């Protein structure tokens, strides 16, 4: 086993619970920079005190993931099994809940092992690999999943790291193939899921609590859902009795996928009560401002970065300006639900910025509720781990 020294501040961070090691955290980065993916290393401080064990798995700015602070732990299928078993136990209430058949089963470093996430779609499994290092141990994971008492019907995977031209980035791995779409339930809302076909499967489980909140608040309200993708928030609002919803997304695929989600929930997809607009959100906001329309509830869940033909959006720099407009088009007595999944946008900074947007809008706005990641997305103390913040503002005159 090879030993590598970390700089002082880095070994303190690891001691405090952070799992991600960057190349520049090592005293001698040149000694390790060419290490093979998946290699296991011991890390120590400069005085040779053992600090933990890690595996090499390059992803974004990260280089390796700490998987244990104990000298005795052996990197093995048994260790993976223990982490997986603990993750399953943490989700027992979701597994026992017949109204929810889709959720995150294993959340990378938050469940003890970085570089991988595993989602549960009604007995079908979707694995996301974020580094080649994590992927090196694919066989252990597949065995553990197939041997588990969860009754896994089939497994799909998506490789979110650079791969060769001849390799497939996503697809079916083993077991039965899922119906396309596979219908899963989330607190009895139904959603159509397509496994193995796209980078996104149709639903982001991390917004479950927000969808539930929207469903509970929406009775009688006109709801505008921006960056709507498959209309998951609109479906929740409509099930909650919204008077009408408008879903706006620039991607053509959103039209059919959103209609389908309304239809499987026995909701109108006739473009009157649940309208779907395939267009740029920023053009739509301009149109709403020009026509002096306003809404009882505005939901906005943009990607961290987006580039369309006419606009470039970066959450960190452009959210304030967009939120100012969103407050303007929210009726007095209405709600504005603002979400960011940018890990560098801290909750405090996001609140500060949205308060500023409120001031700029000339409306009186009040933060009344906030959401972070739900229980099936446990996080580590790494700064990138708690990436989601959703703020609910009440708007008055
Ligand atoms: N809110 C969604 C998830 C959003 S995913 C949900 O609840 O599931 C991000 C979406 O933003 C994608 O569907 C993408 O097509 C869309 N998008 C990105 N830039 C856009 C723009 N400028 N105008 C409209 N949609 C945009």
pLDDT tens-digit readout, 331-355: 999 999 999 999 999 999 999 999 9
pLDDT tens-digit series, residues 32-78? 999 999 999 999 988 899 999 999 999 988 999 999 999 999 999 99
383 CA distance to ligand 1 middle (Å): 24
Q: How much is the pLDDT for 46?
A: 86
Write the residue with the smallest CA distance to atom 10 of ligand 1: 227
The stretch 16-20 carries a mean pLDDT of 96
Tokens matching residue 298: 């505005």
Given the CA of residue 313, which atom of ligand 1 is nearest to it? 22
Given the CA of residue 211, which atom of ligand 1 is nearest to it? 7
Given the CA of residue 200, which atom of ligand 1 is nearest to it? 5
> For a pocket test of ligand 1, which of 192, 194, 210, 229 has the largest count of ligand atoms closer than 8 A to its C-beta?
229
The stretch 129-133 carries a mean pLDDT of 97
Candidates 202, 181, 106, 120; CA nearest to 154 is: 120
Mean of pLDDT over the chain: 96
249 CA distance to ligand 1 middle (Å): 5
In contact, 221 and 215? CB cutoff 8 Å:
no
Residue 388 has pLDDT above 80, yes or no: yes
310 CA distance to ligand 1 middle (Å): 15
| Structural domains of the chain in order of their starting residue, each with its CATH number | 2-68 (2.30.130.10), 77-180 (3.30.750.80), 204-396 (3.40.50.150)
pLDDT tens-digit series, residues 88-121? 999 999 999 999 999 999 999 999 999 999 999 9
Q: Measuring from each residue's beta carbon to the nearest atom of ligand 1, which residues come in under 6 Å?
A: 204, 207, 227-230, 232-233, 249-251, 254, 280-282, 301, 303, 306, 308, 311
321 CA distance to ligand 1 middle (Å): 17
User: What percent of the chain lies above the pLDDT cut of 90?
Assistant: 95
Per-position b or e across 235-253, b if 16+ CB within 10 A of its CB: bbbbbbebebbbbbbbeee
Distance of CA 346 to CAs 178, 322, 338, Å? Answer: 38, 18, 14
Residue 363 has pLDDT above 80, yes or no: yes
Given the CA of residue 254, which atom of ligand 1 is nearest to it? 13
Residue 149 has pLDDT above 90, yes or no: yes
pLDDT tens-digit series, residues 228-263? 999 999 999 999 999 999 999 999 999 999 999 999
């Amino acid at each position: 086993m090879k030993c590598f020294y970390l700089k002082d501040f880095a070994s303190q961070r690891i001691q405090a619970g952070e799992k991600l090691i960057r190349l520049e955290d090592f005293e001698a980065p040149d000694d390790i920079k060419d290490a093979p993916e998946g290699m296991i290393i011991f890390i120590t401080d400069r005085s040779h005190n053992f600090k933990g064990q890690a595996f090499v798995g390059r992803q974004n700015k990260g280089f390796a993931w700490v998987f244990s602070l104990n000298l005795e732990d052996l990197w093995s299928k048994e260790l993976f099994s223990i982490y997986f078993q603990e993750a399953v136990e943490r989700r027992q209430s979701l597994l026992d809940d017949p109204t929810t058949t889709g959720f995150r089963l294993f959340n990378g470093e938050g469940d003890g092992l970085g570089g991988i996430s595993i989602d549960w779609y009604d007995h079908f499994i979707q694995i996301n690999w974020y580094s080649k290092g994590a992927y090196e141990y694919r066989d252990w994971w597949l065995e553990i999943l197939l041997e588990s008492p969860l009754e896994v019907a089939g497994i799909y995977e998506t490789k979110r790291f650079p791969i060769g031209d001849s390799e497939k980035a996503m697809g079916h791995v083993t077991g039965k193939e899922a119906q396309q779409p596979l219908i899963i339930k989330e607190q009895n809302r139904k959603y159509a899921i397509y496994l193995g076909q796209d980078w996104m499967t149709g639903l982001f489980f991390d917004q479950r609590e927000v969808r539930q909140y929207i469903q509970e608040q929406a009775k009688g309200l006109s709801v505008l859902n921006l960056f709507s993708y498959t209309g998951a928030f609109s479906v929740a609002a409509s099930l909650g009795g919204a008077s009408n919803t408008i879903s706006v997304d620039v991607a053509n695929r959103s039209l059919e996928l959103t209609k389908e989600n309304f239809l499987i929930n026995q909701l109108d997809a006739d473009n009157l009560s649940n309208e779907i607009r395939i267009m740029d959100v920023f053009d739509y906001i301009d149109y709403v401002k020009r026509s002096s329309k306003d809404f009882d509830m505005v939901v906005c869940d943009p990607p961290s970065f987006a580039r369309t033909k006419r606009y470039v959006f970066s959450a960190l720099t452009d959210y304030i300006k967009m939120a100012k407009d969103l407050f303007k088009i929210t009726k007095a007595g209405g709600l504005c639900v603002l979400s960011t999944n940018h890990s560098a946008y801290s909750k405090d900074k996001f609140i500060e910025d949205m308060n500023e947007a409120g001031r700029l809008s000339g409306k009186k706005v009040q933060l009344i509720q906030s959401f972070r990641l739900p229980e099936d997305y446990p996080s580590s103390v790494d700064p990138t781990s708690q990436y989601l913040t959703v703020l609910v503002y009440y708007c008055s005159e």
